[in-house]
Amino acid sequence: MNAIITLLLLFILVGYLISLIVSGKDTSGLKFMLLGLSFILVGGIIAVDDNSDLGGLEYLFVFVGLLFSVVGFGKKN
């Protein structure tokens, strides 16, 4: 039960972070998409590495990177 509450709070925090960054008027969509792609690459490298065991956190990095990329794609420049 504690893991579910922690995961829910983490998703709320990530959503709040994304909304803060999107509300900034000087951030372009391309920069936002590149930030998302870098999150995807870092999460993918950590997921493929045999010596790292973060308990699924690397897949959360990939998911957050995907969210950043989608939001950046939809953002008007």
Per-residue pLDDT of the chain (77 residues; tens, 9 = 90+): 777 777 788 878 887 877 777 776 677 888 888 888 988 998 888 888 888 777 778 888 888 888 888 888 887 76
pTM (whole model) above 0.85: no
Q: SS3 of 25, please?
A: coil
Question: From CA 40, how far away is CA 44, in angstroms rounded?
Answer: 6
Q: How many domains does the chain have?
A: 1
pLDDT at 77: 65
Range of the domain at 25: 2-74
Whether 73 and 31 have beta carbons less than 8 Å apart is answered as no
The answer to whether 58 and 43 have CB atoms below 8 angstroms apart is yes
What gap in Å lies between CA 11 and CA 73, rounded to an integer?
Answer: 20
